Amino acid sequence: MPVHIIAKGFSEGLTALPYGWTVAKLAPCLAVLYLLKWYFNGATNTSERNMHSKVVMMTGGTSGIGAEVAKGLASRGAQIVLLTQHSLTDPFLVDYIEDLRTQTGNELITAEQVDLTSLHSIREFATKWVDNLPPRRLDMIILCANTLTPPGGKAAMTEDGLESTWGLNYMANFHLLSILSPALRAQPPDRDVRIILGTCSSYMGGRLPDFDAPAKVDKKSKKTAKPASEPIAFTPAGVYATSKLALMTFAIAFQKHLSSYTRPDKKPMNARVIIVDPGWTRTPGMRRFLTFGSLWGLALYLFMWPLWWLVLKSSDQGAQTFMYAAMEAQYGRGDGGYFLKECRQFKFLRNEIEDEAVQQRLWEGSEKAIQALEKEGAKRRAMEKKSEGKKTGKEENGEAKQRKGK
């Protein structure tokens, strides 16, 4: 029995126990390792909320932290609407949703195809959602979609000509929420509506764009090469930090936008914006960043896996503050604009985030940039459609001539 073994160790010393000194030497190391892992894992969500009948719209819900948030909310009965760039008939998406339904015992998990790198795709989806009568139920929007060009990697561009990190992390979220604003304001006054946006501590190193600077113009084509509101940064990390700083600044401005709305029933606004920093987590994006997007980087990542396991959270641990933001009762009240980290409320470390003048310039600059990009996109699609029509017409004429010759 363990009691007799312990008693023998006390009476006769560690040498009387099998591997006694080995265990005594290893125990402090294991204890220190356990404490370090406990510390780096961060806080755990202890809040609970009945999520049955709640409609939750999510981006980034098929991988990383977003997948764990979707799983956690679905297991509590929430109806999940995943916004994904995958086709609704894509085998991966079909299997993913079926697996999620099986794991959570929740059949109310669906998806909508939205390409967040396309302003046109975002507008098509959001407009369709807003135009529905009566207004569709929407209790929560959780924005987890995120991207980062690895160090040394070549920056990708969206179809609208935006740098991908800036386009997805900030402009897509700005565009989506701007159009969905009427759907949020139309929710009944007794409904707890929350808009949760993911950020990162790197926002402290961001630098907002100079909105007073003129847009760059290509002298040859005499066309605008880049919107003035797009940040100019020399490193991928710089653009990423700026996108997070801009997103947080917009989040506070969006809360003011919602709160200033006068409801027809004269009830107070019930939509609240919450910003969440999940901490450093072993997500696919983090792995891509640490490996520099290369095979040799992946080999180095695998070699250093014990270190990353120790200091980085798992996706489930990274999702804890998102779950806390979605379920903690106190954040369903008050003025909104909360900033949460490790399941606690923190203050912003950049003054620009709460500066109304900066918020206004960011909003107006982003609107102008999107308007310009959407006009260019509409022209491009019209030309492509016209070109396809001419090509189809030529093919039909050729087939008609062949039939006539026969």
Burial status of residue 45 (CB atoms within 10 A of its CB: 0-12, 13-18, 19 or more): middle
Contacts of 358 (CB under 8 A, 6+ apart): 208, 249, 352
For residue 213, what pLDDT is reported? 61
Higher pLDDT, 119 or 384: 119
Is the pLDDT score of 345 beyond 80? yes
Q: Which of 276, 281, 247, 273 is nearest to 341 (CA)?
A: 276
The pLDDT score that the predictor gives to residue 91 is 93
Report pLDDT for 274.
Answer: 97
88-101 mean pLDDT:
94
**Predicted confidence (pLDDT) at residue 55 exceeds the cutoff of 70:** yes
- Whether residue 244 lies in the annotated active site: yes
The pLDDT of residue 56 is 97
Residues in the chain: 406
Q: What percent of the chain is predicted at pLDDT more than 90?
A: 60
Alpha-carbon gap, residue 351 to 203, rounded angstroms: 12
pLDDT beyond 90 at 30: no
Interval 22-51 mean pLDDT: 85
C-alpha to C-alpha distance for 400 and 155, rounded to whole angstroms? 47
Active-site residue, from 25, 244, 267, 401: 244
pLDDT at 174: 96
Pairing of strands 193-198, 271-277: parallel
pLDDT in tens, 184-243: 999 999 999 999 999 999 999 988 887 666 555 555 555 555 555 666 666 777 899 999
Give the range among 85-99, 199-213, 323-337 with minimum mean pLDDT: 199-213
What are the helix (H) ranges across 167-304? 172-185, 236-259, 284-290, 295-303
Check residue 13 and give its pLDDT: 59
Give the model's confidence band at 23: pLDDT under 50 very low, under 70 low, under 90 confident, else very high.
low
Fold exhibited by the domain 49-278+313-380: Rossmann fold (3.40.50)
Least confident piece of the model among 15-19, 43-47, 278-282: 15-19
For 22, the token pair is 């080995």
Question: CA gyration radius for the chain?
Answer: 26
Q: Is residue 171's pLDDT more than 60?
A: yes
Where does the pLDDT of residue 350 fall: very low under 50, low under 70, confident under 90, or very high at 90 and above?
Answer: very high
Helix (H, G, I), strand (E, B) or coil at 332: helix
Q: Is the pLDDT of residue 9 over 70?
A: no
Q: How much is the pLDDT for 139?
A: 95
Helices assigned H by DSSP within 42-153? 64-75, 91-104, 119-130
Please give the Cα distance from 57 to 345 (Å, whole number). Answer: 24
- What's the average model confidence in pLDDT over 322-328? 96
pLDDT of amino acid 151: 83
SS3 label, residue 277: strand
Name the packing angle between helices 172-185 and 236-259 (round to 10°).
Answer: 20
Q: What is the pLDDT of residue 288?
A: 87
Q: Residue ranges of the domains in the chain?
A: 2-40, 49-278+313-380
Strand partners, 380: none
State the average pLDDT for the chain. 86
Residue 1 pLDDT more than 60? no
Would the pLDDT of 77 be above 70?
yes
What mean pLDDT is predicted for residues 397-403? 62
Lowest-confidence range among 1-10, 20-29, 259-268, 389-398?
1-10
What is the pTM assigned to this prediction? 0.87
Query: pLDDT-derived band of residue 4, with 50, 70 and 90 as boundaries?
Result: low
pLDDT value, residue 7: 62
Rounded to 5 degrees, φ, ψ at 249 are -65, -45
- Mean pLDDT: which of 206-215, 345-354, 389-398 is highest? 345-354
pLDDT band at 289 (very low <50, low <70, confident <90, very high): confident
Helix axes 236-259, 356-405, angle to 10 degrees: 110
